[in-house]
Chain A
């Protein structure tokens, strides 16, 4: 709930929003997983796809497009997008780094890992580097506490972190930052 205070939507920009044909086909497959008339159930998977394929965050235009695809009211999409932490409502960097800060990670050095990241990226939690490559966030327990401390880079897990390991990961990401990410596409998972 505390995070909700900063969940406000931006003004609609009326930018054209286009899913690829292949993605639209996948969305059709997802909808078919739910009974007739329950296409709203496809909302979370479709929002994951939309966020990944249409700019890394959910703009009002993207959410409106999702609403029309699923034949539901735009507000039904907004209220869901603002509830779940995996959806970004503002532009983010190419790599979103999310560091776990919950108890088990915290007692295994998670707080120091966060400080190290702030220093080496030169930004505070919640900010994006000026070159648009990294956004730094904190998250709650990622279900990987046995290999604490843990972080995710765009839903890819990095576990048993140390300062050196982080430097390596950041270095690698910087090197690759011009190319495509190796991330699994949500649309491929259905």
Chain B
């Protein structure tokens, strides 16, 4: 049974409003941090908690915070990354829709720890109704002196501003986000310098994901050690998983890290099994950018251990037989799903979303997409399967930002695990061209 650390209050009627949130223990953790702890104490608890960035990379948050250039005399900024556009991911939306004040509370505590006086929440522009919910909550927080000057009577002051995006996946990448926030095209910056030294307006900047910042509030409440006792190994605490695709119960679930994938997939509490009684074919466990795994390798590792929902277990076996937890966007494919079609679909996405700055990414995605399309339509050649692998290899690691890797991995992993399906498309054009929507090959 999963613990509700982030989602504890989610079922309370009216919890979106300040008064209900406050009267149910809300903002008590902010009170504790601001009144009883020093900023350094807060940072220490976050380090002890073992919390890792929930935006996808899984980097330890306490360590990341320690990099912020505190000695600088420039203003320091906190950016809440609410761009949420990794296909398969819809957990931040859920958190912001239902518990806007939890996010604000987490931002207050984090800003206090980081010595920040201005925070921008960068929300993808398509989430207009979420922006409305957040704006209302921020207004209530100001009215109740939880934001603005001298919060809770302390000498800590903080402003939060909302900033809408314009529809561009790449603006989720933190340096592209900063460019976008400065009113420019979302072209990622070359690192170093890292945002912790030179970020927004060249000032020290911390970029954290919505779920990461929200988790800071309960961590202060329960203490870093208690949070770290949840989970498994270096995957501490709970994680929001957004499950979608061919399952009975798509949705957002809070799990203790370390939950076996099999339980997550098949128990009634979570995904409720594969839809229409079909077989499982494959899973992309952490958003479209992470490698796809076939049924046997998502449920068990190559060694035969149960595969767990943790950073380490999902990565076990490297890219040969493993994948990544990523953003927790868990996409499930049943026996009818066509892996060629899905790979083409994802590559079309990356081609469309590439910012175009680096040739390997811009040209590589623009080569892979039509090749995949040809193969899907039964017009491909066998040697093009290896050509795809070679293009993907040449993109990976050769670009300014990790988008290049994200575009390469779905292709190389799909061919690694489902090569026969690609070959079938090439060898049986007569069969393939007569099907419209890829529901042919039963290959599990």
Contacts and interface: CB of A to CB of B under 8 A. Distances in A.
Contact of B352 (A3, A43, A72, A111): A3
Given A143-B126, A145-B244, A157-B129, A84 B346 contact: no
Interface residues of A, number: 53
A145 B346 CA distance: 14
Interface in A1-20: 1-4
Interface of B: 75, 84-90, 92-93, 124-129, 131-132, 135, 161-169, 180-186, 201, 242-246, 250-252, 284, 288, 329, 331, 333, 337, 341-342, 345-346, 349, 351-356, 362, 365-366, 369, 437
Given A102-B87, A103-B331, A107-B333, A142 B126 contact: yes
Contacts of B124: 143
Contact of A40 (B84, B88, B182): B182
A42 interface: yes
B131 A189 contact: yes
A1 B366 contact: yes
A140 B90 contact: no
Contact of B337 (A47, A79, A107, A186): A107
B85 A143 contact: yes
Interface stretch (A124-132, A146-154, A172-180): A146-154
Interface of A: 1-4, 33-35, 38, 40-45, 47-48, 70, 72, 76, 79-80, 83-87, 101-104, 106-108, 111-112, 139-148, 152, 155-157, 184, 186, 189-190
Nearest to A84: B166
Given A103-B346, A189-B128, A143 B165 contact: no
A9 B135 CA distance: 34
Contact of B87 (A3, A80, A145): A145
Contacts of A79: 184-185
26 contacts: A1-B362, A2-B369, A38-B182, A38-B201, A40-B183, A41-B163, A44-B166, A48-B125, A79-B184, A84-B167, A101-B345, A103-B284, A103-B349, A104-B87, A108-B244, A140-B87, A140-B353, A143-B89, A143-B90, A145-B244, A145-B250, A146-B243, A148-B244, A155-B125, A155-B128, A184-B132
A76 B284 CA distance: 39
